Amino acid sequence: MNIVENFDLFAPRLINKKELFSCGHRACSGCAEVLSVRLMCKALGDDTVVASATGCMEIVSSMFPTTAWRIPWIHVAFENAAAVASGVEAGLKALRKKGKIDDRYIKVVGMAGDGGTMDIGIQALSGAMERGHDMIYVCFDNEAYMNTGIQRSSGTPMGASTTTAPAGKASSGQKTWKKNMPEIMVAHEIPYVATVCPSYPLDFIRKFEKARNIKGPSYIHCFSVCPTGWRSPSETAVSMGRLAVETGVFPLFEVESGHYRMSPDMPKKLKPLRSYFKPQGRFRHLTDAEIDAIQERVTAEFNKLTQKAKFL
Amino acid sequence: MGKRVGLEVTVAVAEAVALCRIDMAGVYPITPQSHIAEHLSNLVADGKLDAEFVTVESEHSAMSAVIGAAAAGARVYTATSSQGLMLMHELLPIASAMRLPITMAIANRAVSGPLNILNDHSDIMPQRDAGWIAVFAENGQEAVDLSIAAFKIAEHKDVMLPVSVNIDGFQLTHMVEPVILPSQEEVDAFLPPFVPHATLHPSNPVTMGAFSMSDYFTEIMKAKDEAIKNSRKVILEVWDEWGRQFGRSYKPVETYRAEDADILMLTMGSMGETAKIAIDELRGKGVRAGLVKLRLWRPFPFAELKAAVKNAQKLIVTDRAVSFGGPGGPVFSEIKSALFAQARRPSIYNYIIGLGGRDMAVSDFVGMFDQVLADRAQAKADTYEFWGVRE
Amino acid sequence: MALKTWKELPIGCVVFEPGSASEYHTGSWRSQRPVWDDAKCIKCGICYVFCPEGCVQQGEDGFFKADMNYCKGCGICAHECWPRAIKMVEEG
Continuous H helices in chain A: 2-7, 11-14, 32-44, 56-61, 81-97, 114, 122-131, 181-186, 201-213, 227-230, 237-246, 273-277, 288-311
Question: A209 CB near a chain C CB, below 8 Å?
Answer: no
Residues of A in contact with B69 (CB under 8 A): 87-88, 90-91, 94
| Closest Cα in chain A, distance from residue C12 (Å) | 11
For residue A97, the domain's CATH number is 3.40.50.970
Ranges A5-19, A84-98, B66-80, B134-148: which has the least confidence:
A5-19
| Closest Cα in chain C, distance from residue B70 (Å) | 12
Mean pLDDT of chain B: 97
Q: How confident is the model at residue A312 (pLDDT cuts 50, 70, 90)?
A: confident
Mean pLDDT of chain A: 96
Q: Which amino acid is at A204?
A: F
Number of structural domains found in chain A: 1
Cα angle A43, A48, A53; round to 5? 100
Contact at CB, B212 and A64, closer than 8 angstroms: yes
Whole-number pLDDT of residue A7: 54
Q: Name all domains of chain C by residue range, CATH numbers in brackets.
A: 26-90 (3.30.70.20)
Contact at CB, A62 and B209, closer than 8 angstroms: yes
Distance CA(B39)–CA(B29), nearest Å, equals 12
Residues of C in contact with B215 (CB under 8 A): 3
Residues of B in contact with C5 (CB under 8 A): 219
Whole-number pLDDT of residue C92: 78
Q: Can you give the residue range of the structural domain that contains A202?
A: 2-311
**For B31-75, how does the pLDDT look when each residue is reduced to its tens digit (9 = 90+)?**
999 999 999 999 999 999 999 999 999 999 999 999 999 999 999
Residue C3, pLDDT above cutoff 90: yes
Contact at CB, A23 and C55, closer than 8 angstroms: yes
Closest partner CB to B208 (pick from C4, C9, C14): C14
Contact at CB, A11 and C44, closer than 8 angstroms: yes
Contact at CB, C12 and B208, closer than 8 angstroms: yes
Q: How confident is the model at residue A2 (pLDDT cuts 50, 70, 90)?
A: very low
Whole-number pLDDT of residue B2: 76
Contact at CB, C13 and B197, closer than 8 angstroms: no
Distance CA(B137)–CA(B121), nearest Å, equals 13
| 3-state percent breakdown (helix, strand, coil) of chain B, nearest 5 | 40, 20, 40
Chain A residue with the nearest C-alpha to that of B57: A127
**For B215-228, how does the pLDDT look when each residue is reduced to its tens digit (9 = 90+)?**
999 999 999 999 99
Q: Name all domains of chain B by residue range, CATH numbers in brackets.
A: 3-246 (3.40.50.970), 253-386 (3.40.50.920)
Closest partner CB to B72 (pick from A63, A64, A92): A92
Question: C87 CB near a chain A CB, below 8 Å?
Answer: no
CB B315 within 8 A of CB B245: no
Residues of C in contact with B208 (CB under 8 A): 12, 14-15
Residue A3, pLDDT above cutoff 90: no
Burial of residue B78 (CB within 10 Å: 0-12, 13-18, 19+) is buried
Question: B208 CB near a chain C CB, below 8 Å?
Answer: yes
CB A180 within 8 A of CB A163: no
Distance CA(A36)–CA(A224), nearest Å, equals 7
Q: Which of residues 38-97 of A touch C (CB under 8 A)?
A: 38-39, 61-71
Chain B residue with the nearest C-alpha to that of C11: B99
Q: Which residues of C24-54 are buried (b: 16+ CB within 10 A; e: fewer)?
A: bebbeebebbbebeeeebeebbbbbbbbbbb
**For A65-85, how does the pLDDT look when each residue is reduced to its tens digit (9 = 90+)?**
999 999 999 999 999 999 999
Q: How confident is the model at residue B382 (pLDDT cuts 50, 70, 90)?
A: very high
Distance CA(A51)–CA(A207), nearest Å, equals 19
Residues of B in contact with A80 (CB under 8 A): 60-61, 64, 91
Chain A residue with the nearest C-alpha to that of B49: A94
Residue A261 is classified by DSSP as E
Contact at CB, B202 and A69, closer than 8 angstroms: no
Question: A18 CB near a chain C CB, below 8 Å?
Answer: no
**For A218-251, how does the pLDDT look when each residue is reduced to its tens digit (9 = 90+)?**
999 999 999 999 999 999 999 999 999 999 999 9
Helix axes B140-155, B9-19, angle to 10 degrees: 30
Residue B117, pLDDT above cutoff 90: yes
Residue A5, pLDDT above cutoff 70: no
Whole-number pLDDT of residue A1: 42
Contact at CB, C15 and B207, closer than 8 angstroms: yes
DSSP for A98-162 reads TTSS-----EEEEEEEHIIIIITTHHHHHHHHHHT-SEEEEEEE-SSBTTTTSB--TTSPTT---
CB B265 within 8 A of CB B318: yes
**For B71-96, how does the pLDDT look when each residue is reduced to its tens digit (9 = 90+)?**
999 999 999 999 999 999 999 999 99
What ipTM does the predicted assembly reach?
0.97
Question: B216 CB near a chain C CB, below 8 Å?
Answer: yes
Residue B147, pLDDT above cutoff 60: yes
In sequence order, the β-bridge partners of residue B155 are none
Contact at CB, A26 and C78, closer than 8 angstroms: no
Residue C1, pLDDT above cutoff 70: no
Contact at CB, C18 and B206, closer than 8 angstroms: yes
Residues of A in contact with C57 (CB under 8 A): none
Mean pLDDT of B358-369: 98
SS3 B265: strand
Residues of C in contact with A22 (CB under 8 A): 18-22, 54
Q: What subunits touch chain C, counting only 3 or more CB pairs under 8 A?
A: A, B
Q: Which residue, among A11, A7, A57, has the nearest Cα to A224 in the 3D structure?
A: A57
Q: Is the peptide bond before B29 cis (omega within 30 degrees of 0)?
A: no
Question: C23 CB near a chain A CB, below 8 Å?
Answer: yes
Question: A30 CB near a chain C CB, below 8 Å?
Answer: yes
Whole-number pLDDT of residue B3: 81
Question: B205 CB near a chain C CB, below 8 Å?
Answer: yes
Mean pLDDT of B347-371: 98
Distance CA(B11)–CA(B18), nearest Å, equals 11
Across chain B, the runs of DSSP E, i.e. the strands, are 3-8, 24-26, 52-54, 76-80, 103-108, 133-136, 163-168, 176-181, 207-208, 253-256, 263-267, 289-294, 296-298, 314-319, 347-352, 384-386
CB A92 within 8 A of CB B72: yes
All residues at 6 or more sequence positions from B214 whose CB lies less than 8 Å from its CB, including other chains? none
CB A202 within 8 A of CB A7: yes
Distance CA(B261)–CA(A179), nearest Å, equals 68
Distance CA(A265)–CA(A195), nearest Å, equals 12
**For A246-302, how does the pLDDT look when each residue is reduced to its tens digit (9 = 90+)?**
999 999 999 999 999 999 999 999 999 999 999 999 999 999 999 999 999 999 999
Of the spans A5-9, A160-164, A264-268, which averages the highest pLDDT?
A160-164
Q: Which helix (H) or strand (E) holds B221?
A: helix B214-246
Q: Which helix (H) or strand (E) holds A218?
A: strand A218-223
Residues of A in contact with C50 (CB under 8 A): 35, 198, 201, 238
